[in-house]
DNA sequence: GCAAAAGTGTTATCCCTACACCCATGA
DNA sequence: TCATGGGTGTAGGGATAACACTTTTGC
């Protein structure tokens, strides 16, 4: 079977930068390429877009194939199309990034052996294609969005404490925040509400649990 | 001549939202489609990406073909890929937006007869494909960037008065700004400098002319 | 001399920041 | 009772917002 066109067509893929927080670090999912080009090197998960699916559907399909996760936050990042970015043929990739909540149970990447693994942004290996550039842009976008949106909530489980949320901000920003100001600011947005439950976590006062008012939405704030 | 692939490939185009300021209005360039689909309807300029050019090169080529203009600000906006957005075949379009300075001499769209024309954002015709959506997103991006970048400078000629710059902000934002605060703020950025020349424009005090320190760059501010 | 846009300072308000102690719990 | 993280208020400083009159020119 072969497909013919009157003029040349590029291939179109989606690549996904999948972020999560594990072990108090911001991590990204990479897969070890099983085939050339760049065989044996680490790369972002991704693949060709089917002709009957939208770009976002393609990205979600790849995301689910690699991690088994669905229904998480996914946003288009940028489209990369340098003519020589893939040695096989002209490949244009529409890059997305996804945020996976911290409690999402055992996603496939748990097993290192399969060639799928979480990497801290501080300890990235060499990456295939222009994936280093894609990852850097995704990270930059994420950091920028912390400032003017509720994107960080997408890393949180259904209910969470304000200290947990603050830790997520601190991890991504790489700096410590003032506890009182952080709490005042988050609560003043009116975008989280108390669940009425508490989280007991050891020999100290239990923390109130909150949940997002719009768990499926990222609000622009400020 | 025909091109064959082992699996189906989409077509990839670039479409460009070309903004300028004319007649005290924010305008966008549209072309009347000469061929089906959507023959006779207005659409954004754009076209297929050549296999040996990058996406941005393709967009600049289209921009120059439609307007004769080169060297202006151009930024990737978003990639649109609904499977049914073009009735002919699967077409994925990488949308860009461009800003053209107000003084750029007679660009081709001047002649309405050729089926190329400037439209005020307030008086848009029906648009082909999903171009209404693309244009709306470009406008939204432009408005957002006014707030935290020097993108408005890209509409200005090489030298300009602060009142002219303020008018551009007011036009795009659709609201009046305080003259003193505006001047203080712009000057405090340190991104414009006096040319030493003045602009005489009628029966009133001449205005100092300024120019951008980085005419080729959009700085993030605040 | 008058009409028209250019140019200029001060004050009040709000928001952000910095900062330290008590509370509830488990061991 | 002690160690641990949860939870709370206030005062000072800096940035923002509001506001009106004088200057320079062409006619």
> What is the distance between the alpha carbons of residues B141 and A86, in angstroms, rounded to a whole number?
30
Residue of A2, A3, A4, A8 for testing the chain B interface, max B β-carbons within 10 Å = A8
Name the one residue in this structure whose structure tokens are 């972002």. Answer: A44
Q: Which of A148-162, B96-110, B159-173, B175-189 comes out lowest in average pLDDT?
A: B96-110
Name B192's bridge partners.
B212
Nucleotide showing the shortest C1' distance to residue A163 CA:
D6
Name the one residue in this structure whose structure tokens are 């300024």. Answer: B210
Tell me: pLDDT of B110 over 50: no
> What is the distance between the alpha carbons of residues B25 and B10, in angstroms, rounded to a whole number?
37
Q: What is the pTM of this model?
A: 0.95
Q: Please, what is the Cα angle at B217 between B219 and B139, to 5 degrees?
A: 75
* B114–chain A nearest CA distance, Å: 27
The pLDDT value given to residue A222:
84
When CB atoms are compared, the residue of B51, B53, B79 closest to A79 is B79
The pLDDT value given to residue B132:
98
The pLDDT value given to residue A107:
67
Q: In what order do the strands lie in the sheet with B192-199?
A: B159-160, B207-212, B192-199
Tell me: pLDDT of B37 over 60: yes
Dihedral class, residue A38 (left if φ above 0, else alpha if ψ from -120 to 50, else beta): left
Name the one residue in this structure whose structure tokens are 């990369």. Answer: A80
Tell me: pLDDT of B11 over 80: yes
Q: Are B90 and A55 within 8 A, CB to CB?
A: no
Answer yes or no: is A197 CB < 7 A from strand C. Answer: no
With a CB-CB cutoff of 8 Å, which residues 76-115 of chain B face chain A? Answer: 76, 78-79, 81-83, 90, 92, 94
Tell me: pLDDT of B112 over 80: no
Q: Are A79 and B83 within 8 A, CB to CB?
A: no
Of A30, A74, A83, A81, the closest CA to residue A55 belongs to: A74
- Chain A residues closer than 8 Å to B92 by CB: 12, 49, 55, 92, 94
CA of A178, C1' of C16: distance in angstroms: 12
Helix, strand and coil percent figures for chain B, each rounded to 5 = 30, 30, 40
Tell me: pLDDT of B107 over 70: no
The pLDDT value given to residue B105:
64
> What is the distance between the alpha carbons of residues B176 and B200, in angstroms, rounded to a whole number?
24
The pLDDT value given to residue A66:
87
The pLDDT value given to residue A108:
65
The pLDDT value given to residue B109:
57
The pLDDT value given to residue B26:
97
Is residue A99 within 8 A of residue A29, CB to CB? The reply is no
> What is the distance between the alpha carbons of residues B156 and A36, in angstroms, rounded to a whole number?
49
In this structure, the strands spanning B207-212 and A91-100 are unpaired
Protein residue closest via CA to C1' of C20 = A180
Q: And the tokens for B63? A: 């921009």
Q: For A122-179, what is each residue's pLDDT tens digit?
A: 999 999 999 999 999 999 999 999 999 999 999 999 999 999 999 999 999 999 999 9
When CB atoms are compared, the residue of B3, B6, B92 closest to A7 is B3
Residue of B1, B6, B12, B220 for testing the chain A interface, max A β-carbons within 10 Å = B12
Which class for A210: exposed (0-12), middle (13-18), buried (19 or more C-beta within 10 A)? Answer: buried
Instruction: Tell me how far apart the 2 most distant CA atoms of chain A are, in Å.
Output: 72
DSSP B92: E
Protein residue closest via CA to C1' of D10 = A180
- Chain A residues closer than 8 Å to B79 by CB: 55, 76, 79, 94
CA of A179, C1' of D13: distance in angstroms: 20
Q: Are A53 and B83 within 8 A, CB to CB?
A: yes
Query: Which bases in strand D are touched by protein, i.e. have an atom under 7 Å from a CB?
Result: 3-10, 16-20, 23-27
- Chain B residues closer than 8 Å to A1 by CB: 6
Tell me: pLDDT of B188 over 60: yes
The pLDDT value given to residue A111:
47
Q: Please, what is the Cα angle at A143 between A141 and A149, to 5 degrees?
A: 85
> What is the distance between the alpha carbons of residues A170 and A98, in angstroms, rounded to a whole number?
19
Query: Which bases in strand C are touched by protein, i.e. have an atom under 7 Å from a CB?
Result: 3-10, 16-20, 23-27
Q: Is B59 on the interface with A (CB under 8 A)?
A: no
Regions in chain A scoring below 70 on pLDDT:
105-113
Evaluate the omega torsion of the peptide bond into residue B37 and state whether it is cis, within 30 degrees of 0: yes
Q: Is A52 on the interface with B (CB under 8 A)?
A: yes
CA of B36, C1' of D19: distance in angstroms: 58
3-state SS string for chain A = CCEEECCCCCEEEEEEEEEEEECCEEEEEEEECCCCCCCCCEECCEEECCCCCCHHHHHHHHHHHHHCCCCCEEEEEEEECCCCCCCCCCEEEEEEEEEECCCCCCCHHHCHHHCEEEEEHHHCCCECCCHHHHHHHHHHHHHHHHHHECHHHHHCCCCECHHHHHHHHHHHHCCCCCHHHHHHHHHHHCCEEEEEEEECCCCCCCEEEEEECCCCCCCECC
Residue of A nearest to B78 (CA): A78
Nucleotide showing the shortest C1' distance to residue A181 CA:
C17
């Amino acid at each position: 079977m072969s497909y013919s066109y009157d003029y040349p067509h590029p291939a179109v893929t989606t690549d996904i930068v999948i972020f999560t927080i594990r072990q108090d670090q911001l991590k990204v999912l990479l897969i070890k390429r099983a085939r050339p080009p760049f065989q044996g090197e680490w790369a972002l998960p991704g693949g060709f877009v089917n002709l009957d699916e939208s770009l976002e559907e393609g990205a979600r399909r790849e995301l689910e194939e690699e991690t088994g996760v669905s229904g998480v936050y996914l946003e288009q990042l940028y489209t990369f199309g340098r003519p020589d970015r893939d040695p096989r043929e002209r490949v244009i990739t529409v890059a997305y990034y996804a945020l996976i909540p911290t409690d999402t149970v055992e996603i496939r990447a748990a097993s290192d052996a399969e060639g799928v693994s979480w990497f801290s942004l501080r300890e990235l290996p060499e990456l295939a294609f222009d994936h280093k550039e894609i990852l850097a842009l995704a990270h930059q976008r994420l950091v920028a969005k912390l400032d003017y949106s509720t994107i960080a909530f997408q890393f949180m489980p259904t209910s969470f404490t304000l200290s947990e949320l603050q830790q997520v901000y601190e991890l991504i920003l790489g700096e410590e925040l003032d506890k009182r100001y952080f709490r005042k600011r988050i609560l003043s947005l009116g975008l989280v509400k108390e669940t009425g439950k508490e989280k007991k976590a050891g020999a100290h006062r239990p923390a109130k649990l909150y949940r997002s008012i719009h768990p499926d939405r990222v609000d622009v704030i400020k």
